[in-house]
Amino acid sequence: MIRKIANILFVCTGNICRSPFAQGLFTKIVAQKGLKDLTADSAGLLALPGNSVSYLAQRVAAEHGVDLTEHKAKSVSKDFVGQSDLILVMEKSQEDSLLTAFPESEGKVLLTRHFARFGSRRRDISDPYGLEYEAYRFCFLDIEDAVSGLVEYLLSN
């Protein structure tokens, strides 16, 4: 039996670039489509709780209609894992870390690019932190492809 997906958790390292991109974009697309039974959150494996999204991440997200100015970093927790129907990580190593720290996440964890419409679905989404604007822009577009594919998948099931 296929489990209904209603609560999605996006996970990256610090919860200040990639997973907020994914959460913000997913929330925007779901709202535009009028889907009320889907929610997303984000967290980081090595997050410093309370940190803001990096300036360049905020700028790139804003250019795509996603406001991340109020986002504060959160750490992955047992509660987050328990409440999530699907956990999407940005890198294979994050999947391994998550499964080690939270064995109960078994069967819920996939790479975010698993739902990508273009290119490899098995590759990581590179961390833009500390890099130039173009790295953030490329990262956002990479995540946009995967999140759009995820929403298409959820609408078809």
Whether 3 is a known active-site residue: answer no
DSSP state of 42: E
- Least Cα distance to 155 among 39, 33, 41 occurs for 33
DSSP state of 37: S
Whether 124 is a known active-site residue: answer no
Which string of b and e fits 64-88 if b means at least 16 CB within 10 Å?
Answer: eebebeebebbebeeebbeebebbb
Q: Per the residue annotation, which of 12, 41, 142, 145 is the catalytic one?
A: 12
Q: Per the residue annotation, which of 59, 85, 124, 127 is the catalytic one?
A: 127
Contacts 24+ apart (CB under 8 A), 67-72: 67/24, 68/20, 68/21, 68/24, 71/16, 71/20, 71/24, 71/42
Q: Per the residue annotation, which of 17, 18, 139, 145 is the catalytic one?
A: 18
For residues 89 and 114, what is the distance between their CA atoms, to the nearest angstrom?
A: 10
Whether 12 is a known active-site residue: answer yes
Show which residues are catalytic.
12, 18, 127
